[in-house]
């Protein structure tokens, strides 16, 4: 038995895909309604990594996003304590965010690790992390090498995470599993355990760049893994669903799963984020009771 077989044996996951689906649906059916209220909508807004990750991103687009975040409290004084958690961009646009972002308490997130496919050399991934942090990123979202993981090259995946984590220094470090590519509950569970063992501060579902992104089932599995990890090691790891979470109801469903599985301690933007762009305006619309197109 190699060390990864031993690692996974310490964290057995007994549910199959159909059982995961059924248990996920049951939690949402029983508890989502109690969380579908303005207090939760505000908290979800406060947990957003406001994101633009398009090939045609420009300095002007990112400057405008930063300006919206800077002046959020002026436009929504009643929500001044619920501004977004960070602005998330490609590495080359980190300096633009740093030069323009003035809102207190809002971080700068950079995707790294050869985002979105992770199909580049580890030396480039490490350099990209280091450069993003040097230019001002306070958080880094790296991508698991899904191809290597699916081939069972767990040591290579582990080493890539650990090396990029080291390059990030004090920056908050999230590992994107790309759960839609991993497909099965067992794979998502193992990838979660591996990422946490390698030093992830957060585990994140998706890049938002493939057909299947954050699903409630992925949230159920990953939160169960975080819970098991804390129970055995005492370490607290955050969670971020990203990609495909755009409506208030979808956000509430993920919030409900995190609350029921991980508990109140995770219901803050230090341990729970949404990777989203459209979600912010939709939550604002729910909160304000009229259509909002602020961001």
Q: What is the pLDDT of residues 141-163, one digit of tens each?
A: 999 999 999 999 999 999 999 99
What is the strand order of the sheet 48-51 is part of?
Answer: 238-240, 202-204, 172-176, 139-143, 107-111, 86-89, 48-51, 274-276
pTM of the model: 0.96
At residue 295 the predicted structure's pLDDT band, cuts being 50, 70 and 90, is very high
Mean pLDDT of the chain: 97
Q: Is the Cβ–Cβ distance between 233 and 197 less than 8 Å?
A: no
Grouping H, G, I as helix, E, B as strand and the rest as coil, residue 238 is strand
4-22 average pLDDT score? 95
Evaluated on CA atoms 266, 135, 200, 190, the torsion sign reads positive
238-248 average pLDDT score? 96
Does 293 reside within a domain?
no
> Residue 277: its pLDDT value, please?
86
Does 271 reside within a domain?
yes
Q: Please indicate whether residue 94 or residue 2 has the higher confidence score (pLDDT).
A: 94
**Number of structural domains the chain divides into:** 1
Q: Is the Cβ–Cβ distance between 144 and 161 less than 8 Å?
A: yes
Does 131 reside within a domain?
yes
176-197 average pLDDT score? 97
Q: Which alpha helices (DSSP H) does 3-141 contain, by range?
A: 3-10, 17-35, 38-46, 59-70, 72-75, 94-100, 122-134
> Residue 43: its pLDDT value, please?
98
Question: Which positions are annotated as active-site residues?
Answer: 141, 204, 240
Domain that holds residue 40: 3-8+15-288
Does 294 reside within a domain?
no
Question: Does 238 have pLDDT greater than 80?
Answer: yes
Does 140 reside within a domain?
yes
57-64 average pLDDT score? 98
From the list 291, 285, 287, 225, the residue with the least C-alpha distance to 258 is 225
Does 295 reside within a domain?
no
> Residue 1: its pLDDT value, please?
60
Does 141 reside within a domain?
yes
Query: Could you give the CA distance from residue 147 to residue 179 in angstroms, rounded to a whole number?
Result: 12
- The percentage of the chain sitting over the pLDDT mark of 90, rounded to a whole number, equals 97
At residue 213 the predicted structure's pLDDT band, cuts being 50, 70 and 90, is very high
70-99 average pLDDT score? 98
Question: Does 217 have pLDDT greater than 90?
Answer: yes
> Residue 286: its pLDDT value, please?
98
> Residue 282: its pLDDT value, please?
98
Say which CATH number the domain at 274 has. 3.20.20.70
- Structure tokens, 183: 């497909």
Q: Please indicate whether residue 264 or residue 14 has the higher confidence score (pLDDT).
A: 264
Q: For 204-221, b where at least 16 C-beta lie within 10 A, e where not — what string?
A: bbbbbebebbbbbbbbbb
């Amino acid at each position: 038995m190699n060390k990864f077989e031993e690692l996974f044996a310490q964290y057995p996951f007994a549910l199959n895909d159909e059982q995961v689906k059924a248990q996920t649906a049951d939690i949402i059916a029983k508890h989502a309604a109690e969380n579908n209220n303005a207090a939760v909508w505000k908290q979800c807004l406060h947990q957003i990594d406001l994101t633009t990750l398009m090939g045609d991103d420009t300095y002007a687009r990112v400057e405008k996003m930063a300006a919206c975040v800077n002046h959020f409290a002026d436009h929504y004084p009643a929500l001044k304590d619920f501004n977004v958690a960070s602005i998330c961009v490609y590495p080359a646009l980190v300096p633009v965010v740093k030069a323009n972002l003035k809102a207190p308490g809002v971080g700068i997130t950079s995707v790294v690790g050869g985002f979105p496919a992770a199909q580049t050399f580890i030396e480039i991934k490490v350099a990209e992390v280091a450069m993003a942090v040097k230019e001002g990123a306070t958080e880094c979202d790296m991508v698991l090498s899904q191809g290597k993981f699916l081939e069972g090259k767990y040591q290579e995946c582990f080493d890539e995470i650990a090396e990029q984590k080291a390059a990030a220094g004090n920056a908050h470090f999230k590992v994107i599993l790309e759960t839609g590519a991993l497909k099965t509950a067992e794979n998502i569970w193992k990838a979660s355990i591996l990422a946490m063992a390698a030093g992830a501060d957060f585990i994140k579902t998706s890049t938002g760049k493939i057909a299947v992104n954050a699903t409630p089932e992925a949230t159920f599995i990953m939160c169960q893994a975080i819970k098991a990890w804390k129970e055995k090691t005492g370490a607290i790891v955050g969670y971020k669903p990203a990609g495909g979470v755009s409506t208030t109801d979808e956000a509430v469903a993920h919030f409900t799963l995190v609350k029921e599985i991980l508990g109140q301690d995770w219901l803050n933007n230090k341990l729970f984020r949404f990777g989203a762009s459209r979600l912010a305006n939709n939550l604002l619309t729910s909160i304000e009771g009229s259509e909002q197109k602020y961001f």
